[in-house]
Structure 1
Amino acid sequence: MHKAMRMLPLCLVIVLANAGCGPGGTQSAAGSTVRPGQSAEATTPVDSVLLDPDQSQEATLPEVVASVGERTITGEEFRVAMARATHSPMGLPGANTMPEEDQRMLLDRLIDTEVVLALADQAGIQVADAEVDELMAQQKQYFESQEQFQEALASIGMTEQALHDAIRDGIAQRRFVEQKTQDIEVTDEEISSQYEELKAQGRLQRPDDTADVAHILVKVDSEEQQAWDDAKVKIDAARKRIVDGEDFGDVAGEVSDDPGSAARGGAYPGTPRGRMVPEFDNLMFEIPLDTVSEPFKTQFGWHIMTVTDRHKAGVQTREEIEEPLRDYILDQKRQEAVDAMVAEAREEMDVKVLYLADVSPEPEAADAPEAEPAPESQSENEEAETS
């Protein structure tokens, strides 16, 4: 049965989990190249996908497991997608084992992705190389070297070109959805209704005081005083840039060594009291709002922080979560619109499923023929004749 399609977020982990399903040719497990329009009838051995880890025989997947028009999903791409979905290391016997029902759901999502990309192509959605290159550069900054980056890609069965293509597809999907759902709005009544529903379910309780904090970390990995002195110079320079008028988030994205927050401007919204190390936690609830702290040390290095808001423990008010609720409802309405578009498009597009074939939308059941009148029993006939 057709499942709801979920869009491809533009972060490395999710992009990698959905990569390799674009229109370009890719290498199959047997080394042959599968390209749009190529016959999808042949099969080629690939690593086991259904067998237990201790079984040595090989399973087979079709060379192409599904196609949407000229776009194809190869058996190798599907095998790699299963490994990523199960967080399995590539190349280990039995690493790609996945229950058949989960395979059906995964393949269905990949088909939906191809449908959206086909719709984006039809709508003339274009993605500039510069956009993709910028996101690629952001991903690489989390690795110490190009070699380490390549090793990380190889560990999940991906090349740099495949990641490049996946990022491009992700941008195209997002842009298409934004274009087709730009007129969708969220009313105050919908927000109030959602708020009351969540409140009644007890899901708006804030157990601890929280702070909306952002920080910049200059990490120190050495006990040498010179390393700490150098880091202090760097954090002082970052603070001066902000005090002189630069945006805190922009400087954090450029300078901070904290991989958990740098990409989002150093932000840790809604951080509960007691979650961070003491030096950080205490200052988070002391400094005036919307100011930049003086540099301070923790075991990780030198920091500066800013706090934009604080919230007391208790039930969150409607005003506090109005914008997150609006975004949540908007996402839901957009998703419903996309699901409807995908379902309609799948009926019209040339979707072929060559593996787990009942993944594709089930045809409507034909009207059942009218039942013929039951023949009269012999006793009934005899009664009629004697009456």
Structure 2
Amino acid sequence: MKKWILSLTLAAGVVGLAACSGNGGEDVAKTKAGNVTKDELYQAMKERIGEPMLQQLVLEKVLEKEYKVSEDEINERLEKIKGETGEQFESQILQYGYKDEDDFRTALKFSLLQEKAAIKDVKVTEDEVKEYYDNLELPIEVRHIIVDPEDEELAKEIKAKLDKGEDFAKLAEEYSIDGTKETGGDLGKIEKDNEGWDADFREAAFKLKKDEISEPVKTQFGWHIIQVTDKPEKEPFDKAKDEYEYELKLSKLDNEAVNDAVKKEVQNAKVDIKDKELKSALDSYLKEPEAADQSDDDSADK
């Protein structure tokens, strides 16, 4: 799945700014020092977050009119993200500015709407989908025991103990030099193309069968003994073809392509912003970029 989707840089959840625009004189808070009206709240919010929030609300309305995202689709994507982030899911969504899972779900829905707009015109053949399917490696779950780069002999001794049936988790707790010793060497899921993992480590891990234990593997971090604890099988192609076709189309996208697709939808929607102070909120979608000034280039060539 494309990393631009999983990078957790989705738009923030929508605050109900639009709801503050009606019944301007109605109080939303009362104090002995004076009341706060909806007009005052709207104006204050507009000054602070008006343009980005209006942009968000307009984009959602435009995309929701043309595309539908079901709760099942949101749940499916959410489960995939949870599977890839593991126990770090909650801390990661907090790190990227989401207050809770519901807030993240709102942003996820918006991301899926953008996806559907962007892949609409992406064409792939069945042969391309089959090739993508054949070359795809699903994430695997691994654990390891790691010792110092100078301790190859120790790594071999540990491998010999494993071959005799000694417990992997206990040996990891006894010998490993990293924090995974506290969890029996568990590293969670890894993807074959994730460059955050050492290339030699990935290559060795993906050659293993489920439950198989590697010979000592040298990386820049030390000597590893790797075990694959889960290696899921792909669904048959005929059953999963639609899913892999969708993923292949996504793999052909980048942020620029997504933005261009959303821009086209906004321009077709004939947006007319009535509030003068927010007129420029959608300029990046409604205005074409100005042509570069060629005068400097011309003078530089002389």
TM range (shorter): 0.3 to 0.5
Which TM-score applies when normalising by structure 2?
A: 0.45
Which TM-score applies when normalising by structure 1?
A: 0.37
